[in-house]
Amino acid sequence: MGPNNPFHDPLRFERQVKPCSLVIFGANGDLTKRKLIPALYRLAFERRLPSGFSIIGNSRTEMSDDAYREKMRQSVIQFLEESPFDESVWRDFAAGLFYISGDLRDPNLYSRLAAKLAELDQTRLTGSNALFYLSTQPSHYAPVIEGLGAAGLQHAAPTATNPSPWRRLVVEKPFGHDLASSRELDTAVHRVFHEDAVYRIDHYLGKETVQNILAFRFGNGIFEPLWDRRYVNHVQITAAESIGVEGRGGYYEEAGALRDMIQNHLLQILATVAMEPPALFEATAVRDERAKLLRSIRILKPGEVPTHAVKGQYGPADVGGQSLPGFRQEQGVSPNSQTDTYAAVTFFIDNWRWAGVPFYVRSGKRLAKRVTDIAISFNPAPHRVFADSAPGAGPADLAPNLLILRVQPEEGISLRFLSKQPGSGMQLRPVSMDFKYGSSFGMRSPTAYETLLVDALTGDATLYSRQDMVEASWQAVHPILEVWNNTTFDFPNYASGSWGPASSDDMLALRGHTWRVP
């Protein structure tokens, strides 16, 4: 099999999923329909799942196995990215798809679940291995964990064919609403599950391009020597979405952009960009370095918040002839909402490598386009040799070297540098050297959920978050949330389809910087 074959993956046999069951709580929810089941189907399509692999979905709605299968079939057809839907793969996959309705607070649900798991061990040879996936509203996490514990489902007894069956728990974000509630959740988790069995998912860590930051930094010799305060002027991390809250107004009204994106996804990206090299590529070593970095983020004093953090909310607008509602007009949102649909923060990392280098992080809904990238801006050359020979030199001549790590939608890396413009004289112009994932590898990248599901099913927690990281991230955003909570903002302060509030530009201007337009 050549590298252009979509099934070519030299490690796929080492990372073979052993027979097991996956139990999804919240099986009728958005995440399950949009991400989990399409990712599992795709894994089945690529023959990454063992025969007998079984899924038990749970939610309150009464439904037969067949009705659930049909619902999921529609979701896969709707949300499957790129690949075609294959009826025969689906038929095999759906034969392992089951549904149990029931209230998460009812102990009876867990005994029925135990019976179903035991039945699947017999009928589909799942070997007593099971992964429990929490994809419900966060308020249900603790009751589910308690229910699993009361029914003894966190352990499985060795069998003749499987001497060490495993039970694991995947917890979806948000891990709490703030530091205190994240600790409460952690206590609830640890009352039942051992830390080794807990997988806190942050799907940004599963994105190919985020993993590639590690390859880029630690697999090459030439970039790392430049990766510090002496050469890097500042870093910009952008996660812009063009969509609004899309029917999630109720959840989002409580969360806001700082909690929804920055506290987890973007701080994990920041940690990946800024962490020290781990000695080994192995779960504990990698996670220790990420955690150490997150703990080095400077905690803002309340008085510093207004100059280091910007809160925004989109208003209604006409974009391309289409009139878009403002956040306050979305369903489930208060007409006086103070929720942030945009947040930008200037972070500093108090360690030897990064002292004094601003890391600007921003995220928002209904921005000009969907793009996630990281731009590392290097210091300018110390002396402008060409200044006099280029009298007409414009600001472009001053453009600093920029390294852009593109996470989505166009995955790749580009390096911007100055080059001589053809012709007489020394006129310089920025040009760029580009690497594009698609054209270099000519194969599809797995989605983050495909990667992370295989990892959890094979017991690899390298790309999963850990409680100390979760707490360090909450600590980093805590003062901002506190100050925002006690301030009334004049919202809306940016129009749908724009790049966010003007105050965000002002924040960068304080240090002589500007947001780049990605």
Question: 127 or 176: whose CB is closer to ligand BG6?
Answer: 176
If binding is defined by CB under 6 A, does position 340 make contact with ligand BG6? no
Binding mask 197-236 for ligand BG6 (x = CB under 6 A): ----------------------------------------
Query: Is the separation of the CB atoms in 438 and 406 below 8 Å?
Result: no
CB of 257 to ligand BG6, least distance (A): 8
Q: Rule CB under 6 A: choose which of 260, 289, 450, 471 binds ligand BG6.
A: 260
CB of 462 to ligand BG6, least distance (A): 19
CB of 370 to ligand BG6, least distance (A): 8
Q: Which residues contact 472 (CB under 8 A, 6 or more apart)?
A: 291, 294, 295, 297
If binding is defined by CB under 6 A, does position 241 make contact with ligand BG6? yes
CB of 260 to ligand BG6, least distance (A): 5
Question: 260 or 330: whose CB is closer to ligand BG6?
Answer: 260
Q: Which residue is nearest to ligand BG6 (CB)?
A: 260
If binding is defined by CB under 6 A, does position 330 make contact with ligand BG6? no
Alpha carbon distance 348, 314 (integer Å): 27
Task: Give rounded-to-5 percent helix, strand, coil for the chain.
Answer: 40, 20, 40
Alpha carbon distance 82, 412 (integer Å): 19
CB of 253 to ligand BG6, least distance (A): 12
Question: 260 or 340: whose CB is closer to ligand BG6?
Answer: 260
Query: Is the separation of the CB atoms in 262 and 343 below 8 Å?
Result: yes
Alpha carbon distance 306, 153 (integer Å): 48
CB of 285 to ligand BG6, least distance (A): 26
Alpha carbon distance 6, 137 (integer Å): 36
Query: Is the separation of the CB atoms in 104 and 138 below 8 Å?
Result: no
| H helices present in 225-266, as ranges | 249-255, 257
Query: Is the separation of the CB atoms in 69 and 97 below 8 Å?
Result: yes
Question: 8 or 369: whose CB is closer to ligand BG6?
Answer: 369
Question: 20 or 407: whose CB is closer to ligand BG6?
Answer: 407
Burial of 225 (0-12, 13-18, 19+ CB in 10 A): exposed
Smallest CA-to-CA distance from 217 within 173, 281, 133, 143 is with: 281
Question: 208 or 241: whose CB is closer to ligand BG6?
Answer: 241
DSSP letter at 379 equals: P
CB of 450 to ligand BG6, least distance (A): 13
Alpha carbon distance 130, 21 (integer Å): 5
Question: 93 or 494: whose CB is closer to ligand BG6?
Answer: 494
Catalytic machinery residues: 265
Burial of 57 (0-12, 13-18, 19+ CB in 10 A): buried
Question: 208 or 260: whose CB is closer to ligand BG6?
Answer: 260
Alpha carbon distance 399, 186 (integer Å): 47
Bridge-based pairing state of the strands 21-25 and 97-101: unpaired
Residue with tokens 């001549």: 397
Cα-Cα end-to-end distance for the chain: 37
Calculate helix-pair angle for 141-150, 107-123, nearest 10 degrees: 60
Alpha carbon distance 518, 238 (integer Å): 8
Alpha carbon distance 314, 492 (integer Å): 5
Question: 80 or 399: whose CB is closer to ligand BG6?
Answer: 80
CB of 241 to ligand BG6, least distance (A): 6
CB of 402 to ligand BG6, least distance (A): 22
DSSP letter at 226 equals: G
Q: How many helices (H) and strands (E) does the chain have?
A: 17, 18
- 322 three-class SS: strand
What is the contact surface with ligand BG6 in residues (CB under 6 A)?
241, 260
